[in-house]
Amino acid sequence: MIEIVSTRHNPLIDPGLSVWGWEIPAYLFLGGWVAGILVLSGFLLATGRHARRSCVCFGMPLVGLVLLSAGMLALFLDLEHKLFTWRLYVTFEPWSPMSWGAWILLLVYPVLVASALMRPPRLLMDLVPGVRRLSGRLGGNAAVVRAIGVAGMASGTALGIYTGILLSALGARPLWSSAVLGPLFLASGLSSGAAFAHMVARDREESEAMARADNAFLLGEVALIALFLVGLSGAGEAHAMAAGLFLGGPFTAVFWTLVVGLGIVMPLLIQSLAVSHRIAHTAIAPALVLLGGLALRFVIVYAGQYSHWPRG
């Protein structure tokens, strides 16, 4: 099995232990963002909202393809044995998070492509023969559109949860030993997808709907963060020490300022005022949500490597 850890070492964390750099947090963030795009665009397709030509569900899958490719590149850069990556796709290990992730990512690509072909850019239709005809066949069949939407919601949910399970399955670090990480990363990914849709949607009604959805995801994220910290605090000495990294420890300021304050509370307040028509919709809140989602992955990954079990 391919190791996803890098060969960099940090003796301040744990002498001799391989340490993840920026690549893994970036991969987890981009994967979660794509998961949110898949779920939301899939929902719009499955519920018939794509009937509007301005539906944000048509442009987001193309963005998702770019983001997912960037995330895969970041993951590839962190692989220790890059030449053996292909082995992940000639076998399947039911108990390996990396094996699940490899196959989930393999399934996500065709779903994104199919979603993008609902209404591809005119330039693509002009340059690639057959794209216009294929788009007409896919978009003109209601059952096919609904199936693609359902596939998007299912694959997006699997991808979003996987990004958290990838960490929680690694029991070597107490901070990551929590079943809440999967739902937390999924909620954060959904929030990132909704924030992006809120920012780029051309239809005012759709933009407000995405802002309301993002507010719900942000509230869910707050609840999951609380469950995450409470669960760690009551699970044992090592887990309580891991939770202490955010409750007075070295990661307290960055966690509560960037992740919770600027990444959740501030955009929740701004978007609540915007959807109640007290202030205008701007890109500030969505940008803060994306920043908070990125900060969440960096903080969880770095703090997790800092946490450790008591040495016997």
Position 309 scores a pLDDT of 75
* Integer angstrom CA distances of residue 39 from 70, 74, 206, 289, 292: 19, 23, 16, 17, 20
0.85 surpassed by pTM: yes
Domain boundaries, the chain: 23-306
> Do residues 105 and 166 make contact, with C-beta atoms less than 8 angstroms apart?
no
**DSSP E strands, the chain:** none
pLDDT digits (tens, 9 = 90+) for 101-154: 778 888 899 999 988 888 777 777 767 777 777 777 776 778 888 999 999 999
pLDDT at 33: 96
Give the range among 8-12, 85-89, 259-263 with minimum mean pLDDT: 8-12
Q: Spell out the alpha helix ranges (H) of 248-283.
A: 252-254, 266-275
Structure tokens at 188: 């954060």
- Over residues 240-251, the mean pLDDT reads 92
pLDDT digits (tens, 9 = 90+) for 178-214: 889 999 999 999 999 999 999 998 888 889 999 999 9
- Among 167, 145, 151, which Cα is nearest to 32's? 167
Q: How many other CB atoms sit within 10 Å of the CB of residue 246?
A: 24
Rounded CA separation 205/180 (Å): 33
Question: What's the confidence (pLDDT) of residue 90?
Answer: 67
In the predicted model, is pLDDT for residue 86 greater than 90?
no
Identify the pLDDT of residue 9: 38
What per-residue confidence (pLDDT) applies to 20?
Answer: 64
Q: What is the pLDDT of residues 30-62, one digit of tens each?
A: 999 999 999 999 999 998 877 777 788 888 999
Whole-number average pLDDT of the chain: 84
Fold classification of 23-306 (topology level) = Formate dehydrogenase/DMSO reductase fold (1.20.1630)
Q: What is the pLDDT of residue 16?
A: 38
Query: Cβ atoms within 10 A of the Cβ of 171, count?
Result: 9
